Structure 1
Amino acid sequence: MPNERFPLPATDISKVDPRFLRQEVPYSTYEPPGTIVIDTPNRHLYLVQGGGTALRYGIGVGKEGLEFAGEARIGRKAEWPRWIPTSDMIAREPERYGPLAGGMEPGLTNPLGARALYLYQDGKDTLFRIHGTPEAWSIGTAVSSGCIRMLNQDVIDLFNRVPEGTRVVVIQAEPPMSAAVLPDEAPTSTAAENPLLSF
């Protein structure tokens, strides 16, 4: 993406498991089109489409104990955002994050990448984000401080598709069998491997 504010080189997708590459998949859900559903255990983000489909993106997620769960709204969108570590991050790893307490300017090495979608609850910033990353190898892993990581090209694609106010549902665990919906009662979520989108 040479026309970006910071010309973005191609991502080396050889470092990314093919199941985490962006694609359109069958996806049955009660959520209306336009909703973002984040399936943390399976490391996928779905943007619900009409007609029983979704755009599926591979993601990196928070380390155990640092994950976000529940519902939120996109309260703010930013292109090439500035990054400031949270006070919790500085407290956990002062040697690593302390020197960055004043923030880090946008750029190719900025941890928030090319775009950030800020998650809000009841009008307040949760400090969790959906954002890009220059570390393609981290997609499909649990290494972040709680945020949802995407390939920079993927977060740009998502950023362009969703407005502020978009509802975001974050799932942290598979539903227990006792809570599972029987097939003849309601739709269940499916995600077949069916690449349809060019990268």
Structure 2
Amino acid sequence: MSHVWRARVTAWCLCCLLWLAAPAAAWWDESMDECPPVPPVTTWYGEIRDRLARDYPDRALDPLIVVRIGEQRLYLIRHGVPFLDYPVSTSRYGIGNRDGSLKTPLGVHQVRRRIGEDAPLGTIFRGRANTGRIANILTTPETSPEDNITSRILWLDGLEEGVNRGGEVDSFQRFIYIHGTDEEGLIGQPASDGCVRMTNAAVIELFDQVPLGTLVVIVE
């Protein structure tokens, strides 16, 4: 967790403790307006949690990754609350599960393989193999000549038969990853060929917190 994030969480917790410790009229003053706002209730997470508890009762939900395509954001859920969130880039062709569509599939997945541990930031992977080369990371909204996969790879395996598993809709066989990119300037908008792209620093941070088998839910 970054120092900035820790500071925000600590400040918010202190505000909550003060609120619980005394009547509002007794201690509230204008200085308290500087407290970080209470995070909004994530009703979408409750729906996902309930569905996973029903359909996958034996699977751990901590940690849990949720990708919200409409927001172009990825959320890491810890202890039942959004712990970290990152801007991402999903397919520029939209949502879909068919092989060859180059679209991002919906549904419940798991992290089946973790690739790139300890590789330097920006390391280029070809066929999931470390090339030993470092990419030139573009931070302006432009495409790179090579469209490299960089830094880390979380290879996703679909868990819903006929939706993202088996036949022509198999996410694992389609090589659907969460991965770093050399096109960081396009993060936050649909720009990939089906995968979920992240900035290199973000995918390394995420990679370090999710073990094999972590559930990944991709929703609209």
Tell me which interval the TM-score lies in, with the shorter structure as reference length: 0.5 to 0.7
Alpha carbons of structure 1 residues 41 and 113: separation in structure 2 relative to 1, 3 Å: same
Q: What is the CA–CA distance in structure 2 between the aligned matches of 1:56 and 1:121, rounded to whole Å?
A: 22
Alpha carbons of structure 1 residues 157 and 69: separation in structure 2 relative to 1, 3 Å: same
Alpha carbons of structure 1 residues 142 and 162: separation in structure 2 relative to 1, 3 Å: same
Matched, 1:130 2:178: yes
- The structure with the larger Rg is 2
Structure with the higher helix share, 1 or 2: 2
Residue 107 of structure 1, aligned match among 129, 133, 151: 133
Q: What is the CA–CA distance in structure 1 between the aligned matches of 2:191 and 2:205, rounded to whole Å?
A: 23
Alpha carbons of structure 1 residues 104 and 168: separation in structure 2 relative to 1, 3 Å: same
Please list every run of 5 or more consecutive structure 1 residues that lacks an aligned counterpart in the other structure. Answer: 1-24, 86-102, 173-199
Identity of aligned residues (%): 29
Q: What is the CA–CA distance in structure 2 between the aligned matches of 1:51 and 1:119, rounded to whole Å?
A: 22
Please list every run of 5 or more consecutive structure 2 residues that lacks an aligned counterpart in the other structure. Answer: 1-38, 50-60, 95-102, 117-122, 136-146, 160-164
Is the Cα–Cα contact under 8 Å of residues 153 and 178 in structure 2 kept in the other structure?
A: yes
Alpha carbons of structure 1 residues 27 and 117: separation in structure 2 relative to 1, 3 Å: farther
Query: How high is the TM-score relative to the length of structure 2?
Result: 0.53
Count of aligned pairs between the two proteins: 131
Highest relative contact order (Cα 8 Å, sep 6+), 1 or 2?
A: 1
Alpha carbons of structure 1 residues 166 and 104: separation in structure 2 relative to 1, 3 Å: closer
Q: What is the CA–CA distance in structure 2 between the aligned matches of 1:170 and 1:115, rounded to whole Å?
A: 19
Is the Cα–Cα contact under 8 Å of residues 62 and 79 in structure 2 kept in the other structure?
A: yes
RMSD, aligned CA: 2.6
Q: What is the CA–CA distance in structure 1 between the aligned matches of 2:127 and 2:109, rounded to whole Å?
A: 21
How far residue 68 of structure 1 moved from its aligned partner, in angstroms, is 1.6
- SS of 1:157 mapped into structure 2: helix
Query: How high is the TM-score relative to the length of structure 1?
Result: 0.58
Stretches of 4+ aligned residues off by more than 3 angstroms: 25-28
* 1:16 match: none
Alpha carbons of structure 1 residues 51 and 61: separation in structure 2 relative to 1, 3 Å: closer
Alpha carbons of structure 1 residues 104 and 158: separation in structure 2 relative to 1, 3 Å: closer
